[in-house]
Amino acid sequence: MSGKRLRSDLGWSTVDRIVVRGKDLPGEILGHLNLGDMAFLELTGRAPAAPESKLFNAMVVTLVEHGVTPSALVARLTYLGAPEALQAAVAGGLLGLGSVFVGSMEGAAKLCSEAFSAGEPDIAALLARYRRVPGLGHPLHKPVDPRTVRLFEIARETGYYGKYCRFMERIAAEKRLTLNATGAIGALACELGLDWRCVRGLGVMARAVGLVGHILEEAREPMAEEIWQRVDDEASAHLKPAKR
Amino acid sequence: MSGKRLRSDLGWSTVDRIVVRGKDLPGEILGHLNLGDMAFLELTGRAPAAPESKLFNAMVVTLVEHGVTPSALVARLTYLGAPEALQAAVAGGLLGLGSVFVGSMEGAAKLCSEAFSAGEPDIAALLARYRRVPGLGHPLHKPVDPRTVRLFEIARETGYYGKYCRFMERIAAEKRLTLNATGAIGALACELGLDWRCVRGLGVMARAVGLVGHILEEAREPMAEEIWQRVDDEASAHLKPAKR
Amino acid sequence: MSGKRLRSDLGWSTVDRIVVRGKDLPGEILGHLNLGDMAFLELTGRAPAAPESKLFNAMVVTLVEHGVTPSALVARLTYLGAPEALQAAVAGGLLGLGSVFVGSMEGAAKLCSEAFSAGEPDIAALLARYRRVPGLGHPLHKPVDPRTVRLFEIARETGYYGKYCRFMERIAAEKRLTLNATGAIGALACELGLDWRCVRGLGVMARAVGLVGHILEEAREPMAEEIWQRVDDEASAHLKPAKR
Amino acid sequence: MSGKRLRSDLGWSTVDRIVVRGKDLPGEILGHLNLGDMAFLELTGRAPAAPESKLFNAMVVTLVEHGVTPSALVARLTYLGAPEALQAAVAGGLLGLGSVFVGSMEGAAKLCSEAFSAGEPDIAALLARYRRVPGLGHPLHKPVDPRTVRLFEIARETGYYGKYCRFMERIAAEKRLTLNATGAIGALACELGLDWRCVRGLGVMARAVGLVGHILEEAREPMAEEIWQRVDDEASAHLKPAKR
């Protein structure tokens, strides 16, 4: 192999050492950083200060669990066929976190980061450009998403309620739509200086946690097979001979 | 739909409320539980006490990052082709967490939980039955895995070093193999009373966090395309006409 | 990079040539081999003769479509969240083809190939060893799976009904269970000389074809969102306050 | 469950019947349709006539194998960690078939179908709108992609070389870029009357076939572990202490 040098700064190990982002894993990380802090370390290269830790953990915790979503159904239906491969059931559940659901976090963070890239944003111009603003609107939580309220409260407490939060709130008011949790998290990711390109990943890692919960519940109290039977019966009823 | 009742206890929401495992998400969870605690809540139905939180977070943090593993390579190579679908790159990276790598955590937890299901375990009989004991041996970290040392230290501090830890250590000594991090975590999961069926999931959720880190690094400093070119050139060199 | 030489014999390309398994793709494959033949070429290194082509295509075609299975539901529910990533919806649908459903093809092929590895198989000894014989039994198609009947008919026509088919039929008779389609295909794969390690893959490639059909139907006449709403309502009904 | 009626027309089964798209699977499909024909049946609701079968099979066969691509690497690296879950290795390999690689087929088909939705297309206007036209350009195959040449030859033979093919060729000439295989297949899909929303799926199903070939080769002559070791060594060389 030749050409461009391959290089990663995330971690390395030798016989007796394991180092992540420049920190000794056993000595400086285990027992010191919680799982959210570790995510922050991975994404920024440094451990969070206490206010950052509080806010960042709240952001990711927000998206862990939201009941029996399509994502949870996928994990459960996959586990039904391959219980020996729990990792595949979690992975399956993550695959639908695209443009319709969790992906809007990325859109909101990108919008925030681009809007301020050249000074104060021109909101009227922005609204003209976006047919749908990511992070606005919610089918159920309206006019207010209680997660947004609480996240911005924590942001104020920790000193991270700033221009990106205000910006998203103004746009939501202008559009008369709920600023949903993904919009709030997109803005807060910018307040914390995160790269918008990893923001969808906050939702993905959070949901991976929640999906393990769903799979454990499925193992104990299954619903996947019953759902399958009901849907299959109903969906093909118009095709089958009258009496089976 | 008829038949068996569908039922999930994990979460529900109405217009103004979101409840997870019986706790109000905005009021009782956000700002109070970190991401590891939230995982504990999902898997056990209750928030961890402080010693449990410390130990459980250390266990999952252990497996977040281990450098450029096959799992990280998969995430990066997937992102190369579908950068618009970060969730698919993370999911891809999780798919290889099977019997060879992370799956041994599940095996170790199952072994521990079965060994004590009918009183004191008969270690000689167990060793006769298992050709390969899950959680033992490591290609690099030998004779000691520094993560195991540290995790058991935290277990002692928090009061969770108990019979399952001793059991795995005795088996490792008997087999003259390293008790690796997955074996230690399997035992500790039993000390915390977790169901062995979710233990592989601890590694899966941890790795989801680490993979987002790899994808962000790939977005900034790519290596996937270079790897592809090198491998493709070398692998087909014996087939191609002499001078291209 | 050093160490072991990387080597693949499957395909290569230069500016003006694309060669697969030693055959010129445009000149010798396109217009000459159908999709099933191409799969046969990939797995054996040679194009099938006409009888092999007929039998092999029938085997894979068998597993393309079986109505609204868990696998189809997963693809549809994934597409609901990420319609921009059809590939992820197909991939999601494949993830559940594990030990419970399609994986039994692999088990049956492995059983057949091992049973004859040292002369005539001792059926009594085999049955004593296997608690569950892969490829036997079907929840719906009993006492006879009509796909097995037809596949063995084609095998007779093409001259590939042989010792592996007879072996599986004897075992099914002994156990008084249906020889299902996956058991028949496992046996036929051995008749064709395929390596048992790729046999689960026949079901996987077939299902990939069928899942594209389901996703197209979902795009035109969706059911995923309705399923989600129904399941979510029912599953959390016992948790929600009386009147929402 | 209530609300919208769930309905699927793809397939159904009873104790002794399995019907796909209105055809009896054992009696009318097995032994009569090859795997490509079966895909055509799934996507259009009818079996292809002989010229359609020849063209459609050539289109999907084109994308089965292209050497050691990122997609093949992902499948191999996934199999390394989870050899018990071949389906997950195939699924992993499909996940990268996004906007960069195979997704352009969908884009080309969509472009073709929209361009003619209101009479003759205005090519200058179209080119002004698209920064990058999907299906044009290839890093290796230039100025001509030999697959396109052959596919259009088969299209002429079978009577399906028409306005969509001419349209894509004019655009390629205008942009002075190769009309690559994905652009040709996108146009041909429109000639056959396929819905553009399933066109990416042609590449996905084809690649599923090819990936099973790669996994079988990996089982026999592995390269994944060697690639991992090389990349890991090189990528972290700048971080590790001088002598390990």
> Is residue D175 classed exposed, middle or buried when 0-12, 13-18 and 19+ CB atoms within 10 A define those classes?
middle
B215: which 2 tokens? 């994808």
CB of D212 closer than 8 Å to CB of C39: yes
Q: Does A219 touch chain C (CB under 8 A)?
A: no
Q: At C20, which amino acid appears? A: V
Output phi, psi for A193, to 5 deg: 80, 15
Task: Identify the three-state secondary structure at position B94.
Answer: helix
CB of B141 closer than 8 Å to CB of B180: yes
CB of A193 closer than 8 Å to CB of A44: yes
Q: Which DSSP helix (H) or strand (E) runs through B157?
A: helix B146-158
Q: What are the pLDDT digits (tens) for B193-238?
A: 999 999 999 999 999 999 999 999 999 999 999 999 999 999 999 9
* A residues 58-97 lying closer than 8 A (beta carbon) to D: 82, 84-85, 87-88, 91, 95
D120: which 2 tokens? 């003759």
The ipTM of this complex is 0.96
Nearest to B87 among A1, A2, A97 (CB): A97
Q: What are the pLDDT digits (tens) for D148-177?
A: 999 999 999 999 999 999 999 999 999 999
Rounded Cα–Cα distance for residues B108 and B133 (Å): 8
Rounded to the nearest 10 degrees, what angle do helices A70-81 and A199-220 cross at? 50
* D residues 175-204 lying closer than 8 A (beta carbon) to C: 195, 197-198, 200-202, 204
Q: Please give the mean pLDDT across all residues of chain C.
A: 95
Question: What was the pLDDT predicted at B142?
Answer: 87
Q: Does D2 touch chain A (CB under 8 A)?
A: no
Mean pLDDT on B41-57: 98
Residue appearing with tokens 């200058």: D124
Mean pLDDT on C47-69: 97
Q: Does B15 touch chain C (CB under 8 A)?
A: yes
> In whole angstroms, how large is the CA radius of gyration of chain A?
22
In DSSP terms, D13 is beta-bridged to D18
Q: Work out the number of other CB atoms within 10 angstroms of the CB of residue C140.
A: 13
The CA distances from residue D5 to A235, C109, D21, in Å, are 8, 41, 19
Task: Identify the three-state secondary structure at position C19.
Answer: strand
Q: Work out the number of other CB atoms within 10 angstroms of the CB of residue D205.
A: 30
Split at pLDDT 50, 70, 90, the class of B130 is confident
Among C65, C95, C240, pick the best mutation site for testing chain A contact (most A Cβ within 10 A). C95
Rounded Cα–Cα distance for residues C179 and C157 (Å): 20
Inter-chain contact A70–C84, Cβ cutoff 8 Å?
no
Q: Say yes or no to pLDDT of C191 above 90.
A: yes
Residue appearing with tokens 């619903």: A223
> Is residue A173 classed exposed, middle or buried when 0-12, 13-18 and 19+ CB atoms within 10 A define those classes?
exposed
| Percent of residues, chain D, with pLDDT higher than 70 | 98
Question: What was the pLDDT predicted at B243?
Answer: 59
Question: What was the pLDDT predicted at A1?
Answer: 45
Inter-chain contact D14–A244, Cβ cutoff 8 Å?
yes
Distance from CA of A163 to the nearest CA of D (A): 33
Mean pLDDT on B13-30: 95
Mean pLDDT on C182-199: 98
The CA distances from residue D27 to C51, C148, D23, D32, in Å, are 18, 12, 8, 9
Q: What are the pLDDT digits (tens) for C108-160?
A: 999 999 999 888 998 888 888 888 899 999 988 989 999 999 999 999 999 99
Split at pLDDT 50, 70, 90, the class of B2 is low
Rounded Cα–Cα distance for residues A218 and A225 (Å): 10
Residues with pLDDT less than 50, chain A: 1, 244
Inter-chain contact A31–B150, Cβ cutoff 8 Å?
yes
CB contacts of B70 in chain A (<8 Å) are: none
> In whole angstroms, how large is the CA radius of gyration of chain D?
22
Q: Say yes or no to pLDDT of B244 above 60.
A: no
The CA distances from residue C63 to B119, C66, C97, D221, in Å, are 48, 7, 11, 28
Output phi, psi for C208, to 5 deg: -60, -40
Split at pLDDT 50, 70, 90, the class of B171 is very high
In DSSP terms, A19 is beta-bridged to A12, A24
Question: What was the pLDDT predicted at B178?
Answer: 96
What are the residue ranges of helices labelled H in D50-198? 50-62, 70-81, 86-94, 104-115, 123-129, 146-158, 163-175, 181-191
